[in-house]
């Protein structure tokens, strides 16, 4: 059993904790909270050992009636590995603490790539994290693009990828973020920083990205064009994407035409928190014109990096190869195509 500590129990941290607990070969050593708020109560109710971020806040937890098992240092001591899901930049500040305790760590996408030995995506470069002490799981957008580009690159070769990322303004809990009623080129510079982040996974890939931010909290939406090195058969490319366990090709007959409906679909299927761990690629949008591939895909920003964090842990501790780890993670989460209520898109393709 791998004992995993989660430092930063926010949007990503609480989901990673639940995903780790669901695995047969991992357990949660503890989670940290900065204050005794509703999420701290939730962590206690879930049965996770709870640690305060520093000595100064321990009394605050006790005053709120929440027992803590110590501070973040105690949690690091009790852990074989830490998943750091603190806000961007805070993870880098914690790295010396992890090093001092000789504890490996997984960082998240808002950290600079040099916080870790490698940037990670389960589908594209699992092996780079094998036996590494410090690994960075790339952002939600980069994870989504990597999952789509990996099979296209392997099968057809990629000459050039161009993607417009329509980004959600904030997560549902982030009431301080916006815009409320606007559409922003964000960043206004072209290309955006997302392309270089994808290149931390595919160093030789030619990719340009443009970013916008819109008043939405549900998902990101990517408009994708990839010029391939060879000409694919349109049906074959759809089958190729269908066969990927973390790509959900949204069937035409489902009537799903929006991100809101995708999230409702996940809630109806009983997914925890209504999470959509897979990329959602609209089947009707998969189009091939000569060597140009096009599609729309939606990315649930709160969820897609969660299974990748679990796989990163297995790679670091040499617990499985990529295929086995992805299968184990998917099975434990209920992400298997035949294991949940979502329709089989291969059947829908024949409709
Ligand atoms: P969040 O703000 O929801 O959660 C961060 C948590 O860390 C909060 O609970 C906060 O209280 C806690 N924290 C703050 N300072 C701390 C400290 N010094 N020590 C311990 N805990 C501390 O943030 P998030 O959205 O979960 O993002 C975390 C990381 O995950 C970032 O790198 C982010 O880029 C990445 N990420 C976020 C999303 C997303 O859409 N939310 C998607 C993919 C990746």
Question: pLDDT for 193-213, tens place per residue?
Answer: 999 999 999 999 999 999 999
As a whole number of angstroms, the distance between CA 123 and CA 152 comes to: 12
Which of 185-191's residues contact partners 24+ apart within 8 Å by CB, and which partners?
A: 185/210, 185/211, 185/212, 186/211, 186/212, 186/213, 187/211
Burial 5-36 (b: 16+ CB within 10 A, else e): bbbbbbbbbbbbbbbbeebebbebbbbbbbeb
| Atom number of ligand 1 nearest to Cα 108 | 32
| Atom number of ligand 1 nearest to Cα 107 | 32
Give whole-number Cα distances, 40 to 7, 47, 334, in Å. 12, 11, 26
DSSP state of 205: -
pLDDT digits (tens, 9 = 90+) for 151-168: 999 999 999 999 999 999
| Atom number of ligand 1 nearest to Cα 173 | 3
As a whole number of angstroms, the distance between CA 328 and CA 341 comes to: 19
pLDDT confidence of 337, banded at 50, 70, 90? low
Residue 298 belongs to what H/E stretch? strand 292-299
For 117, counting Cβ atoms within 10 Å of its Cβ (0-12 exposed, 13-18 middle, 19+ buried), the class is: middle
Q: Is the pLDDT of residue 346 over 70?
A: no
Per DSSP, helices labelled H in 34-139 are 38-45, 55-63, 72-78, 90-100, 122-125
Residues 6+ apart with CB under 8 A from 168: 213, 214, 216, 217, 218, 219, 220, 301
DSSP symbols for 2-45: EEEEEE--SHHHHHHHHHHHHSTTEEEEEEEESSSSHHHHHHHH
Looking up tokens 């990673």 gives 16
State the distance from the centre of ligand 1 to the C-alpha of 283, rounded, in angstroms.
33
Q: Is the pLDDT of residue 345 over 50?
A: no
As a whole number of angstroms, the distance between CA 274 and CA 281 comes to: 18
Ligand 1 pocket test target in 85, 92, 277, 300 with most atoms within 8 Å of CB: 85
By annotation, the residues acting in catalysis are 140
Tell the residue nearest (CA) to atom 34 of ligand 1. 110
State the distance from the centre of ligand 1 to the C-alpha of 91, rounded, in angstroms.
9
Q: What is the pTM of this model?
A: 0.96
Identify the pLDDT of residue 336: 74
Q: Is the pLDDT of residue 295 over 70?
A: yes
Identify the pLDDT of residue 101: 98
Residues 6+ apart with CB under 8 A from 230: 156, 157, 291
State the distance from the centre of ligand 1 to the C-alpha of 329, rounded, in angstroms.
22
| Atom number of ligand 1 nearest to Cα 305 | 43
Ligand 1 site, CB within 6 A: 7-13, 32, 34, 53, 85-88, 90, 108-111, 139-140, 171, 301-302, 305
State the distance from the centre of ligand 1 to the C-alpha of 13, rounded, in angstroms.
7
State the distance from the centre of ligand 1 to the C-alpha of 226, rounded, in angstroms.
32
């Amino acid at each position: 059993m791998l004992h995993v500590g989660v430092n930063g129990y926010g949007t990503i941290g609480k989901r990673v904790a639940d995903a780790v607990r669901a695995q047969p070969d991992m357990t949660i050593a503890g989670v940290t909270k900065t204050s005794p708020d509703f999420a701290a109560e939730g962590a206690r109710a879930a049965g996770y050992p709870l640690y305060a971020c520093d000595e100064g806040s321990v009394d605050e937890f006790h005053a709120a009636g929440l027992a803590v098992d110590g501070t973040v240092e105690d949690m690091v001591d009790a852990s074989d590995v830490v998943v750091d899901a603190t806000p961007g930049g805070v993870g880098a500040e914690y790295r010396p603490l992890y090093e001092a305790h000789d504890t490996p760590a997984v960082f998240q996408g808002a950290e600079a790539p040099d916080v870790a030995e490698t940037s990670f995506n389960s589908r594209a470069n699992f092996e780079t994290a094998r036996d590494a002490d410090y690994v960075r799981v790339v952002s939600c957008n980069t994870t989504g693009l990597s999952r789509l580009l990996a099979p296209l690159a392997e099968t057809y070769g990629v000459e050039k990828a161009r993607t417009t990322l329509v980004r959600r303004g904030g997560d549902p809990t982030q009431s301080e973020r916006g815009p409320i009623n606007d559409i922003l080129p964000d960043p206004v510079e072209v290309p955006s920083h997302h392309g270089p982040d994808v290149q931390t996974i595919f160093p030789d890939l030619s990719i340009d990205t443009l970013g916008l931010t819109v008043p939405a909290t549900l998902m990101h939406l990517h408009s994708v064009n990839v010029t391939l090195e060879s000409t694919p058969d349109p049906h074959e490319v759809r089958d190729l994407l269908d066969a990927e366990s973390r790509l959900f090709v949204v069937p035409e007959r489902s009537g799903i035409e929006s991100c809101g409906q995708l999230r409702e679909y996940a809630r109806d299927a009983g997914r925890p928190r209504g999470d959509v761990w897979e990329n959602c690629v609209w089947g009707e949008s998969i189009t091939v014109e000569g060597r140009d591939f096009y599609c729309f895909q939606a990315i649930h920003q709160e969820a897609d990096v969660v299974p990748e964090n679990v796989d990163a842990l297995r790679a670091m501790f040499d617990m499985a190869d990529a295929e086995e780890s992805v299968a184990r993670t998917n099975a434990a989460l209920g992400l298997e195509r035949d294991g949940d209520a979502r329709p089989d898109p291969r059947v829908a393709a024949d409709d």
